[in-house]
Amino acid sequence: MNNGFAFLDSFTMKNLMTYGVAFGIAFIAALWIGLILWVLRDIRSRTRDPFMIILSVFFVIVLFLPGIFVYLFIRPRKTFEQKYQDAIEEEALLREIGISEKCPSCGHSIKNDWILCPYCHTKIKKKCVNCGKSLELPWNLCPYCGEQQQKPFIDEKSS
Ligand SMILES: [Zn+2]
Ligand SMILES: [Zn+2]
């Protein structure tokens, strides 16, 4: 009797152990796959460099959890979305200080009220004949004072 119980006991224990180990392995495998998928998605939102993508996934596959720390250390700091946001902010900042345009001829940054490009001397805008504000070349009506622009371009008001 005693022997029987002991056998049953050890059998149950063995079964539980097996289930426990199987569960543990399944859990770790799921975590491992989850981490690999997460890194794959994360790295692809940061770079399109295939070498970097392979390297990052490789680290996690081989090193598992420590690989995540290595990955967090070597990954590009910003995602494409963050870079895009930065670009928008930079553009807004440039517009605020008046440098929002590029010369159509040479590509230098120019202030939006300049009438000439100082780098290549291309005519960019014209001055209103009445108030002197800079207008786009095709405009024949000043949006600031409403003055009709008779001539296509007037260099200076003669004083
Ligand atoms: Zn220019
Ligand atoms: Zn005007």
Query: Residue ranges of the domains in the chain?
Result: 2-77, 81-123
With cut-offs at 50, 70 and 90, classify the pLDDT of residue 159: very low
Q: With 0.75 as the threshold, say if the pTM is over it.
A: no
Residues 67-115 pLDDT 10s: 999 899 989 989 999 999 998 888 888 777 767 678 888 988 888 788 8
- pLDDT of 155: 53
Q: What percent of the chain has pLDDT over 90?
A: 41
Note whether 103 and 122 are within 8 A (CB): yes
Please name which of 76, 60, 78 lies closest in space to residue 68, comparing C-alpha atoms: 60
- pLDDT of 10: 78
Ligand 1 centroid distance, CA of 92 (Å): 22
> In the numeric block, which tokens belong to residue 111?
């202030």
Find the ligand nearest to 135 CA: 2
Beta-bridged to residue 99, according to DSSP, are: 111
With cut-offs at 50, 70 and 90, classify the pLDDT of residue 120: very high
Ligand 1 centroid distance, CA of 103 (Å): 5
* SS3 state at 101: strand
Find the ligand nearest to 134 CA: 2
Ligand 2 centroid distance, CA of 143 (Å): 7
Please name which of 113, 152, 151 lies closest in space to residue 134, comparing C-alpha atoms: 113
DSSP conformation class of 141: B
Ligand 1 centroid distance, CA of 106 (Å): 4
Burial of 110 from C-beta contacts in 10 A (0-12 / 13-18 / 19+): buried
- 114 vs 43, more confident: 43
Find the ligand nearest to 102 CA: 1
Ligand 1 centroid distance, CA of 127 (Å): 18
